[in-house]
Amino acid sequence: MIYKILFSISVILLVIDCSSTPVSLKTAPRKIEDDQKSRSAGNYPQDAKPGRCYTKTSVPAEYKTVTEQVLVTPASSSVQEVAAVVETVDEQVIDKPGSTFWKKSDDGDLYCFEEIPPTYKTVKKEVVKTPAGSRVVETPAEYKTVSKQELVKEEQVEWTEVLCGNNARPEIIAKIQKSLKSKGYSTGNTDGKLEQDTMDSISKYQKDNKLKVNKNGLINMETVESLGVKL
């Protein structure tokens, strides 16, 4: 009976401790029986180091913007009728035709054959310069340039090493705070207590330096190493 009461009290204290302690300072309270088969199946991070903590991190899908030519209107051809080209020109035409006649002298001894030339006048006349016909008109295809997002890498989940109660000692937290402060990030204090001001500064530092931004109050080792802090 006494053992049951002590066990119940221990569980209550553990729950209270986990709910009031920042995630980065917690330790995993439950032991998981593990074997070589489950490790090789990828259930746990490969090459894990004793005394270290790991969490699953969702890595967003990666896309790239590509441009391509999209057909709007296909090429085509059509037959068009071409009208004749007519021009007006001046033309000389006979107004009065010429004639010939005989003329004789008064004494009747001489006969002359005479001619009266024709007379002409200028008239306007339409002349076909190019006859009517048809022609084939080719219309080229029309394209437009469009941009679209193309998947480069699908979303995936990977293991990330993080600080936890196993190694997040006050002196380590203090080193992180001092390093952040030296880089212009306000942590509120440098006494080794991991509070919200420090976590906010860590998140800003991660975003500014394009590092993984862990959620749920966790600090990844990539950030710790970037700050020059060694365990």
Band (pLDDT 50/70/90 cuts) for residue 7 is: very low
Give pTM, 2 decimals. Answer: 0.52
* Alpha helices (H) in 66-220, listed in sequence order: 170-182, 196-208
* Strands (DSSP E) found in the chain: 53-59, 62-73, 76-82, 85-96, 99-104, 111-116, 119-130, 133-139, 142-153, 156-162
Q: Which pLDDT belongs to residue 23? A: 66
Rounded to an integer, what distance in angstroms lies between the CA atom of residue 160 and that of residue 143?
47
Q: CB count, 10 Å around CB of 23?
A: 19
Q: What is the pLDDT of residues 104-126, one digit of tens each?
A: 888 888 989 899 999 999 999 88
Joined tokens for residue 132 = 């009517």
Give bridge partners of residue 166 from the DSSP assignment: none
Residue position matching structure tokens 């076909």: 128
Q: What is the pLDDT of residues 55-100, one digit of tens each?
A: 888 777 899 999 999 999 999 999 999 999 999 999 999 989 989 9
What integer best gives the mean pLDDT of the chain? 83
Q: Which pLDDT belongs to residue 22? A: 65
Band (pLDDT 50/70/90 cuts) for residue 21 is: low
Band (pLDDT 50/70/90 cuts) for residue 2 is: very low
Is there a contact between 230 and 171 (Cβ–Cβ < 8 Å)? no
Question: 196-208 and 170-182 helices cross at what angle (nearest 10)?
Answer: 50
* Collapsed DSSP state (helix, strand, coil) of residue 60: coil
